[in-house]
Amino acid sequence: MARYLDIHPVDPQPRLVGQAVAALRDGGLIAYPTDSGYALGAALGNQHAKDRIREIRRLDDKHHYTLVCKDFGQLGQFVILDNDVFRVIRAVTPGPYTFILRATKEVPRRLLHPRKKTVGVRIPDHRVALALVEELGEPMLSSTLILPGESEPMTEGWLVKEELDHAVDVVVESPCGSDPTTVVDFSTNVPEVVRHGAGDPSRFER
């Protein structure tokens, strides 16, 4: 059964944040809230947890996993950003956007898109999510918690616990957004909106 941690949305309790991060460091898989619904999260190098995400969501090999980062300093270690792209992304971050960019060598190969060598990155506008990444000390491997056959992410912690009680190790309860992120592909330096979601896509469309 998954551990259920009720974390305050404005002032996350360090003890509970530490318990969730301890599970990540021990190789666990967590379900946690973001500004764009619930997500599944794991430590960056955890191949087994990545396989569990793929099984829960029934993903194929072309799925872009996301590295959830605490700030731009961390994000810049894992993706290649030229000045123009940096300015555009900085203007809407933190927020409900995922950006697909060319990865640096810091990203494990198994996390990359097999053909494009790209990875998704984001900085959420959500105190609990940021507290988890801050405590972890590195980006968290993540994927929006959209169940097979559904088009929207899960948004209630108690429902996540009920649905995935034996599939994840920790469920973090806290309010979250209801729409998935807007996904923008910057891998060719020309923005392409590949999913319309909570973020405003108009600034990326021409």
* pLDDT one-digit tens code per residue, 109-146: 777 666 678 889 999 999 999 999 999 999 999 999 99
Using alpha carbons, list the distances in angstroms from residue 168 to 15, 26, 139, 174.
20, 13, 19, 17
- Is the entire prediction scored with pTM above 0.85? yes
User: Considering the domain boundaries, does residue 95 fall inside one?
Assistant: yes
Joined together, the tokens standing for residue 123 give: 């900085």
The rounded distance, in Å, linking the Cα atoms of 101 and 78 is: 9
User: Considering the domain boundaries, does residue 76 fall inside one?
Assistant: yes
Number of domains comprising the chain: 1
User: Considering the domain boundaries, does residue 205 fall inside one?
Assistant: no
Instruction: Average the pLDDT over 175-198 and give the result.
Output: 91
User: Considering the domain boundaries, does residue 93 fall inside one?
Assistant: yes
Identify the domain containing residue 132 by its residue range. 3-198
Question: Which residue matches tokens 């809407």?
Answer: 92
- The whole-chain average pLDDT of the chain stands at 92
User: Considering the domain boundaries, does residue 206 fall inside one?
Assistant: no
Q: Is 79 helix (H, G, I), strand (E, B) or coil?
A: strand
pLDDT of 186 over the 80 cut: yes
Q: Are 98 and 183 in contact (CB under 8 A)?
A: yes
Which residues are CB-contacts of 171 (< 8 A; sequence separation ≥ 6)? Answer: 2, 3, 4, 5, 30, 31, 157, 160, 161, 164
Instruction: Average the pLDDT over 168-194 and give the result.
Output: 92
Model confidence at 70, in pLDDT bands (50, 70, 90)? very high
User: Considering the domain boundaries, does residue 67 fall inside one?
Assistant: yes
